[in-house]
Structure 1
């Protein structure tokens, strides 16, 4: 026993100094050297020499990256001391003092990245002096969590070996936390950002329009996403995801209504709600009734709730397209198999091209196979095949293996159906072509569709008329629910006012048009009167502007305080009664492509104080809730495998946090345009580029185009000199091109006015 007590304790292995991150061990003969990775100088590297001389060398080395070695060593000691304190982790997220709260707020706030315009290229290549930069472990840790949320990276990336090596070489002082710790950081950021969104909504003077979207997943799970849409005090359209909630597979409309009501209560927006937009035109009737009934108990809905229930127009278009596809399924299948047969071998394709030349078909189009789950690709297949109709008709005579030939009647049906789909495709492109669409842009498009459906129903062909009738039945359901709110939104467009309603209703209703126009006019005035009464009756919870009386300088002793209230109420009611009439009586605003309805109302708010409040709420209605990624899909929104595997709270935090953190890169303009007419092998496109705040240095910019579903081409050109260019790259164009214009170099405006703008027209040709 005594012998055992004399055995010394096993000595723990000494930790390697961080100084060795800047030296390489080299053995030559019997000697060991430490070679500086920055200046390649050889120093003694034996274990007996220690590391003091290496540290002194680093302090003098002029070619290294100027890390403060003393700071590195000091930080390492602090981490060791901190790791031994049990209060370190327990204090995180608990109650803090005011000063600690301020520091934490600063850490949670991202540092904006700015590009120094005066920095020369040669200076950017020099070593950056980091000696005066203080490393902040907590800020860097939260920056990492924010990056993961913003870009949708998996939480497990912090456990990847390659990521750890990259971070350690980039900043040796930074310690990457594990998966669980990063998840907690994400939850911290989520809570902070949620409070910001809550306060923004709470202080909003206008009302909120709620979008309700249903999501699926590969595991057949279902989710409901609630998004607040509103126009802020600067007259900018805002969209904020409020909740992303997991649903029980056996959920009912009653359960859905309870989920939505709870969200409205949690966010305290039940008294601010103007409308709700659902992604299905014929479902959720019970749910809508329950929500309206619950809201009416606390506060009557505007216009008795007639404008409350809105349906997604993009979902309407998708359901109509599916009706068309189902009706002509056999014809589409024959065309698909015909195209597949022609493209099955070079021999068949060569023979087909010879036949096409013989019958005089010189189309530059190529036959394409569709993706059955993308209805726009089916349209492309039909359109290309119809151009080669004559060649397909003769192919059966020259190719005995071709067995899917169409009859003349089937070709006529295919041609008509392609026309139907083309109309719906152009409508869809207009919707998704506006990143932040206001409600006023939809009425003319919906009316055009109404007129077109009426014409298609008159077709003498029984098959085509039956297809058109099925389409119109779906459309009528939508029209009955949304025509009033769409018409009011169009009237609030100063370019149209009542004239657009009169123009379209005469085409749609004929002799019954005057009665329909009166219904819209009465609905408009009824809504306006409710805003007028709400403004003249101050209410702290109304959420509407003008809810506070003008204050008096000596309110406590002012004997005429009652007169101030009387004067305010009577003068306001007089102004309100003429506000709408004054707007409708004035001439319409000239139509032009640069018109911004939100800017117009922002400028004219003093002239129409009550009507502008109504316009703010109506124009913010999300008439379409589906994005470009699902607009052409035959399915709905599907959550990816990674997010589906997370816990409900983490999933909601990451998805909502991503939406709140998302920002537009400075110096980038994104816009879309629709191409309706094109020539044989070349598309002639004219783009108007308008840039506010910044303009490109030396008039140089980088242009990148995306056609359909593939990144296609890019080029650099000069605005002042370009007239026509041909982009030599093969692309797959689906009538819609997304253009991203990113300026390579941003320079300050010549004048002090930050709103200076540059506008130019760019024309070029694009090969199809």
Structure 2
């Protein structure tokens, strides 16, 4: 058979050639076509000469099977050529002659190399990469990065740092618009956490984070603003930052409460914030729901105090662990002795990261479980001389008992994506009760260790127990019963006064919600729980109809005037029974996997007012730090590069990184406006 030639004639239904324009598919770089017989045209691979069906009669086979032959490496000649090119790429001789620069690699003809590049999409993805991984903006001007990108895709035109900064800000604005739409549509209120980040330039950055329940009854946490404050120690610094954030997002009428840490608060700051809250929302318990101390930071300070009290013994344990794990021979002797002593522990030794107190706790636990091996290690390894005494091991075990209490409580902030406020009352009660008992213990070590801790924690307990107790009342598994039980254990007979304080606050807050919500609840359907989504405007008309028979038929069902009547005669006293009904009903079986917010979603028609109040309360944050900083003993610090950026650029980078965790942003090359 003759060698195939490049024939671009297509046969028509009669088997006659029909001239077409030259084929543009990249597959024809690798194939030719030839008419074999009347009504039969085949495609031939230029490299291996294999034939493929192309046209049979009036049927066109297409090019998909031809592409697979090349792209999947089915063609043996194509595969061999690619392997040769790859070997040549890594061959020193092919790269350089020994003195000159590396030779350019010959372009390999393949399908992917001819796919047109989407320059805008690539820049968009690069901006996301820089934001998500906190790369400096000038990484795009780094020679190593430029060479790497050019090797991947020579067609890509690298952009400047100013250009990529503009794309990062554009991405920020698009994401901000999406978040604006989400917050604008929520049925409830927004609580704010205020955290203060530091820098080497003595500038402060107030980070405002919003916590709210969306229309699907899911708890959300979003960084809203990063506000640079030149004088972070000023009493007005937080106030100005909060005012700026509220104005930026239009949250003046949606603000519920604040949570901040005592390191950035004092009586003046708290007074200013409570005053701001009372001006915006004068009926929300007169600002009593403001939390002036971050739960994670309180726990971290207690842990640091406990670790500091036993720092000498902890160092001996750390040095012992370091002795074992940093030498293979030492570790082998340790494992041999462990096997001989048949120590049942499955823990592995590791050196802690002293910037994360949970790693110190885990290191001490693992070492204590292997204390018998450490105690006998000097017999098989005479060079080991740092073994703690049995009394010191006992001190470490006592310390770990209380560290576990703190660790388990703080771990709620890490193990749960968005813990609702009801999860913390029981944890705080446990800490208060355990420290109280330990402080008066006959064990001198336990009492001396915990007495200073109790003094510090007791302040947090008294400041925050009301908010946390109100939150747990909104949990249908506990309601007021857990409050009564916990206060009786902590205060004995005096617990009744504490219980009454919580009960009074819950009822007062509920009455305030009725006062705030009643003007909006203009139809009887919303009170009893019917769905008005499908009703017409006439059906929900709230104007009083004319007192004649014809007007009663002006709406679809004739009940709109009855709805107005019910709305007008409904008083706070009558609606108040909604809370009492909830409290009097039986508790739900205690289940750890209960989604409390979803329970309120299911029961929102049964408790229309109470469900709104519950969502706002359950979304109150108890911690100001992000989950990845829960175990950090110090506040977050902005590095020198990011603190050198313009405040608006830094805010865009920090906020967008947070927002991108919750949304799969689709690429868009539409213009984004600054206004909202």
**TM-score after normalising by structure 1:** 0.64
> Residue 518 of structure 2: which of 536, 545, 562 is its match?
536
Higher strand share: 1
What whole-Å deviation, never above 9, does each CA across 1:91-126 have from its counterpart, x for those lacking one? xxxxxxxxxxxxxxxxxxxxxxxxxxxxxx979967
> Residue 432 of structure 1: which of 414, 437, 448 is its match?
414
1:59 match: 24
- Give the match's secondary structure for 1:234: coil
Question: How far apart are residue 641 of structure 1 and its match?
Answer: 5.2
Q: Is there any run of 5+ residues in structure 1 with no aligned partner, and where? A: 1-40, 42-55, 67-120, 667-768
2:443 match: 461
Whether 1:274 aligns to 2:261 is no
Question: How far apart are residue 451 of structure 1 and its match?
Answer: 1.9
> Residue 524 of structure 1: which of 494, 506, 509 is its match?
506
> Residue 186 of structure 2: which of 198, 204, 214 is its match?
204
- Give the match's secondary structure for 2:398: helix
2:365 match: 383
2:473 match: 491
Q: How does 1:698-717 map onto structure 2 within 5 Å?
A: none
What whole-Å deviation, never above 9, does each CA across 1:627-674 have from its counterpart, x for those lacking one? 3422223333233554334221111111112222333679xxxxxxxx
Question: How far apart are residue 403 of structure 1 and its match?
Answer: 5.3
Whether 1:320 aligns to 2:302 is yes
- Give the match's secondary structure for 2:586: coil
What whole-Å deviation, never above 9, does each CA across 1:268-322 have from its counterpart, x for those lacking one? 2133211111144784432121121133234415011111225322112111101
Q: Give yes or no for contact 2:357–2:632 (8 Å, CA) kept in 1.
A: yes
> Residue 353 of structure 2: which of 371, 375, 383 is its match?
371
Q: Give yes or no for contact 1:226–1:241 (8 Å, CA) kept in 2.
A: yes
What whole-Å deviation, never above 9, does each CA across 1:328-360 have from its counterpart, x for those lacking one? 112212222333445575666666667667766
What CA distance in whole angstroms lies between the structure 1 residues aligned with 2:446 and 2:613? 43
Question: How far apart are residue 430 of structure 1 and its match?
Answer: 2.8
Question: How far apart are residue 460 of structure 1 and its match?
Answer: 1.6
Q: Give yes or no for contact 2:270–2:292 (8 Å, CA) kept in 1.
A: no
> Residue 446 of structure 1: which of 428, 450, 468 is its match?
428
What CA distance in whole angstroms lies between the structure 2 residues aligned with 1:198 and 1:186? 18
- 299 and 383 in structure 1: CA distance in 2 versus 1, 3 angstrom threshold: closer
Q: Give yes or no for contact 1:65–1:129 (8 Å, CA) kept in 2.
A: no
Q: Give yes or no for contact 1:281–1:316 (8 Å, CA) kept in 2.
A: no
What whole-Å deviation, never above 9, does each CA across 1:469-502 have from its counterpart, x for those lacking one? 1111221111112111111111111121122212
Judge which range, 357-366 or 434-443, deviates more: 357-366
What whole-Å deviation, never above 9, does each CA across 1:145-181 have from its counterpart, x for those lacking one? 3454345443234334565567667777754432112
Question: How far apart are residue 385 of structure 1 and its match?
Answer: 2.9
> Residue 485 of structure 2: which of 499, 503, 511 is its match?
503
Q: How does 1:267-666 map onto structure 2 within 5 Å?
A: 267-280=249-262, 283-341=265-323, 361=343, 363-393=345-375, 404-538=386-520, 558-559=545-546, 565=564, 567-571=566-570, 573=572, 576-640=575-639, 642-663=641-662
What CA distance in whole angstroms lies between the structure 2 residues aligned with 1:232 and 1:382? 42
Question: How far apart are residue 527 of structure 1 and its match?
Answer: 0.7
- Give the match's secondary structure for 1:256: helix
1:215 match: 197
What CA distance in whole angstroms lies between the structure 1 residues aligned with 2:155 and 2:349? 58
What CA distance in whole angstroms lies between the structure 2 residues aligned with 1:282 and 1:663? 29
What whole-Å deviation, never above 9, does each CA across 1:39-81 have from its counterpart, x for those lacking one? xx9xxxxxxxxxxxxxx98836525699xxxxxxxxxxxxxxx
Q: Give yes or no for contact 2:412–2:419 (8 Å, CA) kept in 1.
A: no
Q: CA RMSD in A?
A: 4.0
- Give the match's secondary structure for 1:649: helix
Q: Give yes or no for contact 2:185–2:215 (8 Å, CA) kept in 1.
A: no
Question: How far apart are residue 610 of structure 1 and its match?
Answer: 0.3
Q: Give yes or no for contact 1:528–1:611 (8 Å, CA) kept in 2.
A: yes
Q: Give yes or no for contact 1:327–1:467 (8 Å, CA) kept in 2.
A: yes
- 493 and 225 in structure 1: CA distance in 2 versus 1, 3 angstrom threshold: same
1:235 match: 217
What CA distance in whole angstroms lies between the structure 2 residues aligned with 1:501 and 1:319? 27
- Give the match's secondary structure for 1:368: coil
Q: Give yes or no for contact 1:216–1:223 (8 Å, CA) kept in 2.
A: yes
Question: How far apart are residue 188 of structure 1 and its match?
Answer: 2.6
Q: Give yes or no for contact 2:414–2:628 (8 Å, CA) kept in 1.
A: no
Question: How far apart are residue 510 of structure 1 and its match?
Answer: 1.4
Higher helix share: 2
Q: Give the length in aligned residue pairs.
A: 554
- 484 and 147 in structure 1: CA distance in 2 versus 1, 3 angstrom threshold: same
What CA distance in whole angstroms lies between the structure 2 residues aligned with 1:634 and 1:557? 63
What whole-Å deviation, never above 9, does each CA across 1:430-477 have from its counterpart, x for those lacking one? 331001111111112222222221222132233421221111122111
